[in-house]
Every structure is written in C-alpha cells, then in structure tokens.
Amino acid sequence: MTWRPYYQGNGERYQGDLPVPPPWRFASTKQSARTFRPPDGLAEAVNAALCLRRPLLLTGAPGTGKSTVATSVAYELDLGDVLHWHVTSRSTLTEALYRYDALGRLDATRHDEPDDIGRFLQLGPLGTALMEQDRPRMLLIDEIDKSDIDLPSDLLNVIESGEFEIPELTRHAQEKVQVRLWDGNTTGTVHRGRVKCTKFPFIVMTNNGERSFPPPFLRRCIRFEMPAPDADSLADIVRAHLGDQLTQQANDLLTEFEHRIGRNESLATDQLLNALHLVIREAASNDEERARLVKLVLRDLSSA
C-alpha cells in the first residue's frame, strides 16, 4: 500500500479500497484503557480523589492524555460509559443538570395529548451522574477553564451536596416522574422534583491552564499536573499502540519528536502516533514525500 493511489487531483475516478483508519481513531473503551500509560503519580491522585469523593482536576497542555484518564478509570473500576460534558464560554450549570422542552410540551397540550411532562425532560451529563444508582458513574467535565467565570463556583454547590432540584417537577402533581437520562434512551425516576445521588460520581475535570480558579474551588479538588511526555513514556505509548518492532524510520521520527518536545514546542502525543501511522502503515513512496507528510501532521499547536 502506498500513499498516492487514493486522491491525485487529476479528475480520474479511483475504485480501489480506501485506507483503514489507525486503530486509535475509533478505539473502543477497552482499547483506550489498555493502551493508556499513566504518568508517575497519577494513580495516587486518582485513588485519593476516589477515597475522598472529590473531583480530580487535571491540568496540562492539549494532547497529554487528560480526557483519556476518565476512560481508563471508568473501564478499570467498571463505572460504565463516561458521561461527557464539554464546557464552553456559553455553558450553564442548568444545561448540565437537565433540559426542559417547554415549547414541545405546550405544542402537545394544544393537540390534546396526555400531559406527560417526563417526555419533555432529559437529564444532562451531570444530572445523570447524580441519579440514584448501584455503582458510581464517571463524569468528564472537559475544558472547565473555558467556562464563564461564575460556573466553577456554581458547580461547587451541586458537587458538595450531591443533589439538585428540577423546578418544573416540584410544581407538578405527580410525585414520581420518569425522565430520560443523558446516555441513550434509558430513564430514571425523579421523586418530588429532586435528584439526590446515592453513589457519588467520580468526576474528572480537565484544564488547559488558560485561567486561574478561586481557592474555594481548588481546595475541594484533588489536583494533578499532567507532565509533558519524556523519552521513556513516549516509547511506552508508541509500543502500546504500534507494537515493539519499529522501523528505523519510525525510531528516527520518535527521536525527532522527543527533541522538539525538549525545545518546548507545543505538540500532542496523538500527532506522533498519526505521523508514525503514515510512515509505517501507508509507506510513502520516497523520503521527500514522507518528510512532507510528517511536516503536515507534526505542526506546532501554538501556531495556526
């Protein structure tokens, strides 16, 4: 297999098979957990957060594996699928707790449909994590530093109490209402408009270091700094994904990546894996073409 046959820009139709994506591109939870290589000290931080029932705040540059920590922990501790809340500057605490389709309910009423309020409610990722269940859930709050300035403090109140209220249900005549959960079409029962966890969720929050947080927020978290990978950890990660037998070209690329990291260039580990995949699996036809592909993939993340 070579790189050239897929697209050549000459208007000619290509009828052959398209390339198979790298195994990590659509990896299962099991695959991601088994190929993850935690840095020194991370296991202690995870266990401390677990024992104290405190959120784990992971800080580090993009591509250092912060989000993968949640997948790894959820798999090893059998916490089910990761509930993912990706935070932006427009994110609100309410949307993470529940969503209410008021217009949909009004439209149903106009069409004389039964007033089943549960049809128009869905718990968000945080709300689902706080539902009654036999085993804790894993909640990933991704890029908390992108949030509005007040969101971390608002989040603390819910995390501390482990419960919240849905006003639309506290005023409803039914004592028990079935509402949809965030992950799929499953439902859960909300009693008198209140959700209170029985098993406190494991919460991982990621932070790219773009802002500071108030001391009351930080003291309620277990904090861990994800280090930039060194030569040994990079080699472990590469072997976990690509096996022990690497070509000389792959070893040269690994050495080049290590040197660039040492010069404080902003590069992510998955960029290295992608470059290695092109060099090893796709077998560019010559050194010049290979160099262009590597340059294309291994661009510094601090520049556009």
**pLDDT cut 70: percent of the chain above it:** 96
Look up residue 286 and give its two tokens. Answer: 């010559």
CA distance 16 to 18: 6
Domains of the chain: 29-225 (3.40.50.300), 231-297 (no CATH)
Cβ-based burial of 200 (10 A; exposed 0-12, middle 13-18, buried ≥19): middle
| DSSP codes of every residue in 62-125 | TTSSHHHHHHHHHHHTT--SPEEEE--TT--HHHHHEEE-HHHHHHHHHTT----GGGGEEE-H
Instruction: Give which of 241, 240, 247, 245 is closest to 283, Cα–Cα.
Output: 247
Angle ∠(132,137,139) on CA atoms, nearest 5 = 120
Give the residue with greater pLDDT, 199 vs 24.
199
Give the pLDDT confidence score for residue 1 in this predicted structure.
46
The 10s digit of each residue's pLDDT in 34-69 is 889 899 999 999 999 999 999 999 999 888 889 999
Helix H or strand E segment including 57: strand 56-59
> Is it the case that residue 3 has pLDDT exceeding 80?
no
- Quick check: 288 pLDDT over 90? no
Question: What's the whole-number average pLDDT of the chain?
Answer: 89
pLDDT of residue 276: 87
Lowest mean pLDDT among 74-88, 172-186, 273-287: 273-287
pLDDT at 138 over 90: yes
